Chains A and B, each alone.
Chain A
């Protein structure tokens, strides 16, 4: 990902008009703080967006000057890749402001360098860090998805054995349909928790094929349908949610105090 050239917009896709601000914002919204599993737009990390014809400059700021360089790198490359793939964009310049490694990250990401080239001492590669965080986020998102299914009346045995083929995400505008017992029973649940869960389940490689089990424990192992064992995994997933929310509380408070940003 990080070796991509920043100027990936295909010339054939370019339109003549200026780049649409709302479209840029929509692209930025797809970039997450990998630790907090929330969009950088929602978290108000994006400071300014300048559009000059096909040239887009995005400046962002993090809650602290010492936020993990690996996380900052993921967000910076995410911004670069998302915005540069937008039709009509000729170039993207990403600027990380007020950060201890702001200069290295800004230069490295805009020049299309590797994280490992810029930060030679980093213990883990950026992709490895990303994978770990995605797995944590996948497990945390599972909590809401499973709760929605339980509210719809499914039991531990039914939920534990669900596969991708049991889910119809396109059932309605806001609802998904889930079929169990070889099609004998079908329930509908709110679309969002399942959709968001599947996004991370796909990304982590857990749910790729139609026959893949939908849910797994923290380590990615299939769920035990025994009610007690199932409940233990639910509680563990709730803990994963609390961990992310707790860390988000720390980051939000620091962001508010340093940058005057209040999310409430």
Chain B
């Protein structure tokens, strides 16, 4: 648990990965380009002394992930957002089944999301049903720019996609996380266009759409959609690391996001292992709006607002009872392993 000026702040990291980009797993040039591109994002926003070497970055494994998130990283829980990319990686980059191995070891600490790809047709529907059945998933991460054979992507507002979204409604999978963010080589930039979220969000008011990476470089398009649709959320992965190397830009962007999207619809995510929560969470928690920014945007980035962004909003979407979690974490496996139980006991005593 993170402590900010003596106050406990529960953290649900809304966007984490456990990937395999080892050379043995790469079956397409795109796979190597993709991980190299991720690594460029890693080094661009990570303090020099915290940067990883490429070998570690390709595959860091379960033990390191658990340490980085929970022992060193202040996170209390994490939400797995799988990225299949099976045309690039033999066994997938990080699939639901792969993530499940770790998620099921610590089910109290992880939320395991699934995924679907409308291009898979009936098989894809069956896959989704199996994920619900096997893991009781409550959310899906969607990668509209993923390559599949000759196809270089798909749209969230297509007929095929709507069939899958209807299936999500039927199965009670309420949280839809489309990746809409900065270009990733070799994927097509236009496949990350946020426009298709609008129609989907209007057509499925019973689902929540968490736009990962707040739509950059189309932050404005995303904000317009999020203002109109109450079921559209912004995932802060990629935006959050601005707090570390461009704190003023981060504050301005938070001013915009709080103004347009609102404090109840923003969700923190580190995008681990692109970035690590141990330095990212303090950077975000230390961010402040200047008096001029507060006046200009008419918003606050107070501790209460930060609590919402860091955990409460995600908890709402995933039915997580934070107080019950604090109690549970006084003596769960992770807390015993890393000696964290006292933190939660103190938090409960407050």
Contact indicator B216/A66 (Cβ below 8 Å):
no
Judge if A15 is at the interface, Cβ distance under 8 Å.
no
Name the A residues within 8 Å of B105 (CB-CB).
Answer: none
Judge if A239 is at the interface, Cβ distance under 8 Å.
yes
Contact indicator A256/B44 (Cβ below 8 Å):
yes
Q: How far is the CA of A253 from the CA of B40 in the complex (A)?
A: 10
Contact indicator B249/A247 (Cβ below 8 Å):
no
Q: Of residues A35, A124, A238, A253, which shows the largest number of chain B Cβ atoms within 10 Å of its Cβ?
A: A253
Judge if A242 is at the interface, Cβ distance under 8 Å.
yes
Contact indicator B246/A247 (Cβ below 8 Å):
no
> How near does chain A come to B181, taking the closest CB pair, in angstroms?
9
Q: How far is the CA of A261 from the CA of B183 in the complex (A)?
A: 21
Contact indicator B259/A246 (Cβ below 8 Å):
no
Q: Which of A14-71 contact B (CB under 8 A)?
A: 35, 64-68
Contact indicator B216/A257 (Cβ below 8 Å):
no
Q: Which of B306-322 contact A (CB under 8 A)?
A: none
> How near does chain A come to B28, taking the closest CB pair, in angstroms?
15
Contact indicator B44/A254 (Cβ below 8 Å):
yes
Closest to A250 in B: B182
Judge if A203 is at the interface, Cβ distance under 8 Å.
no
Judge if A249 is at the interface, Cβ distance under 8 Å.
yes
Judge if A235 is at the interface, Cβ distance under 8 Å.
yes
Closest to B187 in A: A66
Q: Which of A235-264 contact B (CB under 8 A)?
A: 235-236, 238-240, 242-243, 245-247, 249-250, 252-254, 256-258
Q: Which of A84-111 contact B (CB under 8 A)?
A: 100
Given the interface contacts A239-B220, A246-B219, does A254 sit within 8 Å of B40 by beta carbon? Answer: yes
CB < 8 Å neighbour of A249 from B218, B242, B259: B242
Name the A residues within 8 Å of B239 (CB-CB).
Answer: 246
Judge if B245 is at the interface, Cβ distance under 8 Å.
yes
Judge if B33 is at the interface, Cβ distance under 8 Å.
yes
The count of chain B contact residues (Cβ–Cβ below 8 Å) is 31
Judge if A123 is at the interface, Cβ distance under 8 Å.
yes
Contact indicator A242/B216 (Cβ below 8 Å):
no
Given the interface contacts A235-B259, A254-B41, A257-B40, does A249 sit within 8 Å of B249 by beta carbon? Answer: yes
CB < 8 Å neighbour of A246 from B43, B45, B186, B253: B253
Q: Of residues A100, A123, A242, which shows the largest number of chain B Cβ atoms within 10 Å of its Cβ?
A: A242
Q: How far is the CA of A3 from the CA of B11 in the complex (A)?
A: 56
Contact indicator B249/A239 (Cβ below 8 Å):
no
Judge if B131 is at the interface, Cβ distance under 8 Å.
no
Q: Which of A63-83 contact B (CB under 8 A)?
A: 64-68
Q: How far is the CA of A7 from the CA of B76 in the complex (A)?
A: 63
Closest to B45 in A: A253
4 smallest CB-CB distances across A and B, nearest first, come from A66-B185, A257-B44, A247-B217, A253-B44
15 contacts between A and B (CB under 8 A): A66-B33, A66-B183, A66-B185, A100-B186, A239-B256, A243-B217, A243-B218, A247-B219, A249-B249, A252-B246, A253-B245, A253-B246, A254-B40, A257-B43, A257-B44
